[in-house]
Amino acid sequence: MNTKLRLGLMMFLQYAIWGAWAPVLSAYLKDTLGFSGLHIGIIYSLLPLATIIAPFIAGQIADRYFASQKVVGFLQLMGGALLVVISNITEYRTMMWLMLFYCLLYAPTLALTNSIAFINLKDPEKDFGIIRVWGTIGWIVAGLMLTGWRYIAKSFEPFAFAGDTLLLAGIFSLIMGIQSFTLPHTPPKKEAAKPWAFLEALKMMKEKNFAIFIIIAFVVATELMFYYILTAPFLTSEKIGLSDAAVPGVMVIAQVAEIFVLAILLPYLIKRIGIRNILVIGVLAWPARYIIFAVGKPVWLVIASLSLHGFCFVFFFAAAFIYADMVAPRDIRHSAQSFIVLVTYGIGNYLGSLFAGWVHDHFTIAEKTDWTAVFLVPCVLTVICALAFLLFFKPKQTTVP
């Protein structure tokens, strides 16, 4: 099989696993298992926590001694089997510990699959974006498959399974575990990346604009988890009224928009309006989405607002890595990227998961959630971020050469 096809399939499966459970697991935990918002937040915080720990696993142990494709294969087979087990667990404490173990298996594969792709592509700068977009397609397909599964289960009882979202993720993981052994041979590095490499980028915080950017990016990252954790139970609540079967398919609107913005709008606009304006659009999209969620009607507008995820995610987080590459000294560019990952996807998402769960519980009385109050919290915080960004973020270089 062609190398690009194998790498594309790798990315497809890598993100189909994540996309099978992340968008809708919270609805299952809340509506079916009766977990509290804080318990749900803790479970969602485990992957960001594992992301912080991952460099010590993948960078210092795994890819130093074994070929990367074999490490990914082993981790995905172990993770897939564990997900199948977790799909049958209904008690919080047991699920929490097993999910922590699973996330510690999955998190290293995010970096390793990127590494495999970069090493085996002849022109990674040109081809990686095309390969990576298959990951978003995998996320979309997983959501549509889960919706199809649930509709079939309504009329064919043997297909009905409460933990279907985790079971589907487990099946994808087992398939990827097998597929990984067919990937191009990627031998271990003689020297693994330093787990504390991001510390080299701390010196960049002395520059006012970069410091402002990092602080705002951290706060926005915490508010991202309101979307990932609370959107599914919000859509199935009485306020919106979507069925459990419809939610996975509806939520892929966000990833379809992400592909459009990433593949078409970002490359077209970034050279024309500059990185600062791209980031401004991205940060303004956040309160716009949460305002619509807080109002909660009409339903068609709430569903349509899911497409704002393309601007929220791509124009802020994807553009953030471009900005870091522009302003970081050449010798610490990798460290700057690692620093942003740690601040946003690591610490920001971890604390944001706990915060979103706490806010949900704070505005839930007698099992009835005040969704307007819940989403006003991230709305206010992202409005403050947007105003701070407009007033104080003034980078010297605003256009991409």
pLDDT in tens, 327-372: 888 777 767 877 888 899 999 999 999 999 999 999 999 889 999 9
Q: Residue 118 region, left (φ>0) first, then alpha (ψ -120 to 50), else beta? A: alpha
- Single out the residue of 164, 38, 138 nearest to residue 92, CA to CA: 38
Please state, in angstroms and rounded to a whole number, the distance separating the CA atoms of residues 123 and 257: 26
Instruction: Please write the tens of the pLDDT for every residue from 77-113.
Output: 999 999 999 999 999 999 999 999 999 999 989 888 8
Query: Which residue did the predictor score with more confidence, 320 or 84?
Result: 84
- Give the pLDDT score at 228: 94
- Give the pLDDT score at 311: 92
Is the pLDDT reported for residue 399 higher than 60?
A: no
- Single out the residue of 129, 401, 393 nearest to residue 283, CA to CA: 393
> Other CB atoms closer than 10 Å to residue 196's CB: what's the count?
11
Contact 187, 315 (CB under 8 A): no
What structural domains does the chain harbor? 1-195 (1.20.1250.20), 196-401 (1.20.1250.20)
Instruction: For residue 173, name the pLDDT band (cuts at 50, 70, 90).
Output: very high
Please state, in angstroms and rounded to a whole number, the distance separating the CA atoms of residues 387 and 136: 31
DSSP 206: G
Q: Where are the alpha helices (DSSP H) in 237-318?
A: 246-251, 253-260, 266-295, 299-304, 309
- Give the pLDDT score at 366: 82
Q: What is the mean pLDDT of the segment spanning 267-283?
A: 87
- Give the pLDDT score at 325: 79
Query: Which residue did the predictor score with more confidence, 56 or 302?
Result: 302
Query: Which residue did the predictor score with more confidence, 63 or 336?
Result: 336
- Single out the residue of 74, 82, 95, 80 nearest to residue 32, CA to CA: 95
Instruction: For residue 126, name the pLDDT band (cuts at 50, 70, 90).
Output: confident
Please state, in angstroms and rounded to a whole number, the distance separating the CA atoms of residues 62 and 112: 10
Interacting residues of 336 by C-beta distance below 8 A, sequence separation 6+: 201, 204, 324, 325, 327, 328
Judged on CB neighbours under 10 Å (0-12, 13-18, 19+), 273 is: middle
- Give the pLDDT score at 65: 77
Is the pLDDT reported for residue 55 higher than 80?
A: no
> How high does pLDDT run on average in the chain?
89
- Give the pLDDT score at 262: 85
Instruction: Please write the tens of the pLDDT for every residue from 302-313.
Output: 999 999 998 998
Instruction: Please write the tens of the pLDDT for every residue from 202-220.
Output: 888 888 999 999 999 999 9
- Give the pLDDT score at 271: 83
Q: What is the mean pLDDT of the segment spanning 252-263?
A: 90
Q: What is the mean pLDDT of the segment spanning 286-314?
A: 94
